Structure 1
């Protein structure tokens, strides 16, 4: 078997390297479908091999605590695909008919896993009904398998899962309502037990946020994010980017309340090491006390509304300034900003005061004071814009000591000052 697989691997590698330009459109489409099925067949074989390795206790023999850990070592997989493969192998255990349906091209593996998950829960669910005999339960399970396999010809896995949630409505309507009530109660209990959120280590400046929530908790999160996800005029953010910004805005609002534990009731304190060139008097990249690298522009923006302990290093690494902690725009000063600005002062922005940062017009890192005449409220999006090195927007106080903006030439060649007229100001 190994020799045959090696020969097949060699032939597949030759095909993968062959030129594709001679193919007609129909041939290209047909080849794509065929390679997808081939991938499904190979992955099915992988799942069977993984189960056989588990049966033989190969992971333990190799010093691995888990099947996933062993698989990562054997085929050099990242954690996520290794978990997906082991989960698939477990899902298809004792389901030879579903595996055969994948091999025959009637199902793909995600559909097979959904059907297997539905069938696995049916015996216990049906046992709750006193008038259902074991033989009848077996018949219902078989009808469920056949019905879902037939529907798989038209429905992708995520839609097939919804069918599985109400499968008794298709194969045993007289039990469906009772079943749904019991199933929902179990589903909520499982969701509560499996809930969780994780944040990865930074990679290329990004931290992956992942997690699972129960339906009720997810509805709560969606209700909080939805008002902040609406696009603004000229907004070029994707829906996912708007949701990400909304989540951060909600957290920033929570940090400004007095309802969180004492160490979370205000923006976080950072220790930031910034390289400084005495010749050009320019700041270089910064490093937080958590080891993350930040651009000079980001460090300046954070300094506007976070407590930062700057440690400025010269060219030889000597400490030129350390230990000066800025005073936040809080208490009376913050309330005065709320009254004066009414919200984000960027033209046309409708964000209220609680959703804003206190921006230093003259950067605090450049010696700007934390005083009313050197502060302006900006929402996070416009705070980033003002700090962006190439955006070209300038902020200043007008003759009446209220903030106004000078647009870049690309926006207005005359660079006429603009103000936010949305918020009512006294």
Structure 2
């Protein structure tokens, strides 16, 4: 074996020194196929050697704590890769003869071997040895056409081909087991960070995953060419939009005897001078800009205190753009009024053009519908909004974007 491997090594070394640029395309493709077959055949030899060394306990004899650790030092690979190699060697050793022969012949690769072995084992457990033997032939044939990922997907219906009499019952049992695992493993963990942000982790079951995708997918598309948010940031903002919509419905259960709401506490003077920060009811601080933006959102209930701490106002109803006034606003704007945005009214906040804390009234001529993203955009101050001569909102871009600062309008909703 050593002589044969040394000869193979010498042949490969000779190939490394050849000028491939001189070969025509057909020869290059043929050489690539041959190199891949050789690589898989060498993989079969390597797995056989690893399995034999592991079985003999060579690693322990040489002072290593495990075969994986020994391979890490011997082959200079990561310990994770070494563990996977030991596991795959065991899988290869236990695989049916047809699978081992296919790898030795270079017709399958090591990842396909892993998939085939797992699938054959499932077929054996479900339908017996005869079905497992048939599955080997079918899967090896498929491996000539499909990569490991697609092979695993096709393998989920292997019983349709090798044991159709039990396939439906087995598929139903597997689906029930999968559903049971999903119900058991479902969870969401909310971890509060020191700066008030939250880290969300978890696993959703199939139904909840479908609901989440259906809710946020329409909201994750870029809002226009100037939308520089990353996909992750767009998904974050979509989840926030869904929460705003849920709060706006009024159908959430009460929390501590009150309707579900966000409470922001701030000083009245600081709010009017755009200088005061605010505090949420669980203690985290908000910037003055965020406080002012939330204060004009009809889905947010502010709590405003005077200098001596006395309550001046908690959610003044005359400030909120609700009822007939919001319906009139929806009829006028038909959705987010920012140029190019297609967000529908239900995803929008009612923004005071002149902030209510600055004396702006709660009326149709001082309001505009904005989605959450563009509401934040407007509060950053680069753009300004006003009503045109026909009573419809128009937006003035910043000088750096348009030196002439020509007003722009949303034409999207006008088309519908």
Q: How high is the TM-score relative to the length of structure 1?
A: 0.60
Indicate conservation of the 8 Å contact 2:223/2:340, yes or no. no
Match of 2:264 among 241, 249, 271: 271
Whether 1:215 and 2:256 are equivalent positions in the alignment is: no
Residue of structure 2 in register with 1:68 after alignment: none
Whether 1:329 and 2:321 are equivalent positions in the alignment is: yes
Shift of 1:323: 4.5
Indicate conservation of the 8 Å contact 1:343/1:351, yes or no. yes
- In the superposition, relative to structure 1, how do residues 320 and 205 fare at CA in structure 2: closer, same or farther (>3 Å)? closer
Equivalences for residues 148-167 of structure 1 within 5 A: 162=153, 165-167=156-158
When the two structures are aligned, how many residues end up with a matched partner?
A: 336
Residue of structure 2 in register with 1:414 after alignment: 404
- Provide structure 1 residue ranges, at least 5 long, that are not aligned to the other structure: 14-30, 46-91, 127-131, 313-317
Deviations 1:302-341 (A, max 9, x none): 11111111347xxxxx646645223322112212221232
Residue of structure 2 in register with 1:192 after alignment: 183
The whole-number CA distance in structure 2 between the counterparts of 1:374 and 1:41 is: 67
Deviations 1:122-178 (A, max 9, x none): 77745xxxxx5xx668x67x978xx79x97xx956x667535634545765664444
Indicate conservation of the 8 Å contact 1:252/1:267, yes or no. no
Match of 1:225 among 208, 216, 220: 216
Deviations 1:96-121 (A, max 9, x none): 934999xxxx979xx97x99987897
Residue of structure 2 in register with 1:41 after alignment: 82
Equivalences for residues 7-406 of structure 1 within 5 A: 35-36=77-78, 38-41=79-82, 97-98=90-91, 125-126=126-127, 132=128, 162=153, 165-168=156-159, 175-202=166-193, 206-234=197-225, 235-261=227-253, 268-273=261-266, 281-305=273-297, 306-311=300-305, 319=308, 322-327=311-316, 328-389=320-381, 392-406=382-396
Shift of 1:353: 1.5
- In the superposition, relative to structure 1, how do residues 115 and 218 fare at CA in structure 2: closer, same or farther (>3 Å)? farther
Shift of 1:375: 1.9
SS at 1:200's partner residue? Answer: strand
Mean CA deviation greater in 377-386 or 204-213:
204-213
Indicate conservation of the 8 Å contact 1:406/1:417, yes or no. yes
Q: How high is the TM-score relative to the length of structure 2?
A: 0.61
The whole-number CA distance in structure 2 between the counterparts of 1:239 and 1:373 is: 35
Residue of structure 2 in register with 1:81 after alignment: none
Indicate conservation of the 8 Å contact 1:360/1:370, yes or no. yes
- In the superposition, relative to structure 1, how do residues 265 and 309 fare at CA in structure 2: closer, same or farther (>3 Å)? closer
The whole-number CA distance in structure 2 between the counterparts of 1:179 and 1:404 is: 62
The whole-number CA distance in structure 2 between the counterparts of 1:267 and 1:358 is: 19
Indicate conservation of the 8 Å contact 2:396/2:407, yes or no. yes
SS at 1:291's partner residue? Answer: coil
**Larger Cα-atom Rg:** 2
- Provide structure 2 residue ranges, at least 5 long, that are not aligned to the other structure: 1-59, 95-108
Shift of 1:359: 0.9
SS at 2:296's partner residue? Answer: helix
- In the superposition, relative to structure 1, how do residues 210 and 404 fare at CA in structure 2: closer, same or farther (>3 Å)? same
The whole-number CA distance in structure 2 between the counterparts of 1:309 and 1:377 is: 23
SS at 1:199's partner residue? Answer: strand
Deviations 1:172-200 (A, max 9, x none): 56644442233223323432343333333
